[in-house]
């Protein structure tokens, strides 16, 4: 059920981007600059397996 919803979302996003590509293409540099701080905010909290468990360290 979730897979079907994801597929419908992807298909809808494809057609939305296809219809509005001329509008989106002008904003690519700004979208890339916006993506960098968003990735730093939402990615990497507790990354690389460091969750405060020191029992594996020797």
Question: Which band of pLDDT confidence, cut at 50, 70 and 90, is reported for residue 58?
Answer: low
Report the C-alpha dihedral over residues 45, 49, 50, 56, rounded to 10 degrees: 170
The pLDDT of residue 23 is: 84
pLDDT digits (tens, 9 = 90+) for 14-56: 999 999 888 888 888 898 899 888 888 887 665 566 556 566 6
The pLDDT of residue 9 is: 97
The pLDDT of residue 40 is: 86
- In the DSSP assignment, the letter for residue 53 is -
Residue 58 CA to residue 52 CA, distance in Å, equals 15
Contact 56, 49 (CB under 8 A): no
The pLDDT of residue 51 is: 55
The pLDDT of residue 56 is: 61
Residue 17 CA to residue 57 CA, distance in Å, equals 48
- In the DSSP assignment, the letter for residue 31 is H
């Amino acid at each position: 059920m979730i897979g079907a919803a994801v597929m419908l979302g992807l298909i809808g996003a494809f057609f939305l981007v296809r219809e509005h590509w001329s509008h989106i293409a002008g904003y690519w540099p700004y979208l890339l600059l916006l993506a960098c701080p968003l990735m730093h905010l939402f990615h990497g909290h507790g990354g690389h397996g460091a969750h405060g468990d020191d029992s594996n360290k020797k």
